Amino acid sequence: MTRTDLKPTRPDVREYDATKPLPADLVGRFDTVIINNPRHYVPDLPKIADALVPGGRIIVQGRAAWPANQKEGFNPEFDQLFREAVKAVQKANPGWTPKLGIQEPDLTAGIPHPTPRIPHPDRTPPLKSGELPGGLAVRVDLVPGPGSEPTKPAHIAGGPFFRTTGETTGGGPNARIVYWKK
């Protein structure tokens, strides 16, 4: 595992700006890249995808304004990524909206350890992934329940959630976006 942050505050975290090209020693090394709550920047996903092996994935989780149409308490940069992903999935699945289904992709496919216990959706997700520039396929995964309730860590990858400075966060993520490198 390689941990990165724009301004690392711990010795085990490497400095990396996710809006810039990837350092050469990280190219093609990872099955999965996880981005937790990108704040004050929008990650350059095609550049970050350079870190992946073919078929690898980028998982971005954060707090979107949807589904409760929140006016505060959400991450505007993550919300931008979320809305772009929703549009791509809608284009591939005409008539689908996030209100019609929750997608829970198998995040452990091809990984040799037991599948984590993740709640299953009670509605059928769209059949097709969305397509984004840079050769990335995308699916949107919404945490069940109203946006006003705290997110349960079992609903998304990871948890509990802390800021890079070590403080706890308020509320936690309510959505996950999964991108695949073709």
Q: Note the pLDDT tens digit of each residue in 124-166.
A: 556 688 888 777 888 776 554 444 444 444 455 555 666 666 6
**pLDDT in the model for residue 144:** 46
Position with higher pLDDT, 118 vs 41: 41
Q: Among 105-109, 134-138, 171-175, where is mean pLDDT lowest?
A: 105-109
**pLDDT exceeds 60 at position 6:** yes
pLDDT tens string 157-167: 555 666 666 67
Question: Tokens 């959630």 appear where?
Answer: 161
Look at the alpha carbons of 131, 97, 73, 149 in this order and tell me if their dihedral is positive or negative: negative
Q: What is the DSSP letter of 40?
A: S
Question: Tokens 């809305």 appear where?
Answer: 83
Question: Tokens 């050469």 appear where?
Answer: 24
- Burial readout 151-167 (b: 16 or more C-beta within 10 A, e: otherwise): beeebbbeeebeebeee
**pLDDT exceeds 90 at position 26:** yes
Average predicted confidence (pLDDT) for the chain: 75
Cα 172 to Cα 14, 79, 90, 133: the distances in Å are 24, 14, 26, 29
How far is Cα 33 from Cα 58, in angstroms, rounded to an integer?
A: 5
Question: Tokens 């981005």 appear where?
Answer: 35
102 CB-near residues (< 8 Å, 6+ apart)? 121, 122, 123, 125, 141, 142, 144
